Amino acid sequence: MKNNLNAHINVNYETFREFFMMNEILEILIVEDNIIIQQVIELCLISLGYAVCGKVASGEAAIDFIKKKKPDAVLMDITLDGHTDGIDAAIAMKKSGPVPIIFLTSSTRAEDLERAKKIPADGFIGKPFRESDIHAALKSAIPRITTR
């Protein structure tokens, strides 16, 4: 029975070990207007041992969220629902205090990338992405987990 159970459980032992070595579970805000991509990101984060403290679809909602709760990092799409894109939302969020913001985007517009570099962004991940891309970006952006 044990062998059969192990065959059905896919465990990333390095992530499992890192998860239990952390003093706290880090909370990530997802800012993405596509609900399917939002759910995929959430599953990746949970699999990596992070907690999702919120999911919003617009820049305005992201700005409102960060006024109430301070996540350890934000995964932010550039193109969002509403009048405020991810870049403008990130600028407003940074004004309310330091928070690592990683852009997760399919945008290839040079104008968007140049605007995002001026914030400065704490990382960029292109879509499509892999779980390992998210993990590497978070490890580099959040000082508390770079040493584990």
Q: pLDDT tens across 95-131, in order?
A: 988 899 999 988 777 887 778 777 878 888 989 999 9
Give the pLDDT of residue 8.
47
For 23-74, the pLDDT digits (tens) are 578 999 999 999 999 999 999 999 999 999 999 999 999 999 999 999 999 9
96: CATH: 3.40.50.2300
Note whether 104 and 127 are within 8 A (CB). yes
Residue 135: C-alpha distances to residues 48, 123, 125, 129 (Å): 7, 11, 11, 11
What is the count of structural domains for the chain?
1
Beta bridge partners, 103, equal 76, 124
Could you tell me the pTM of the whole model? Answer: 0.79
Top pLDDT among 2 and 70 is at: 70
Host domain of residue 57: 2-145
Tens-place pLDDT, residues 135-147: 999 999 987 543 3
Question: Is the pLDDT confidence value at 19 over 70?
Answer: no
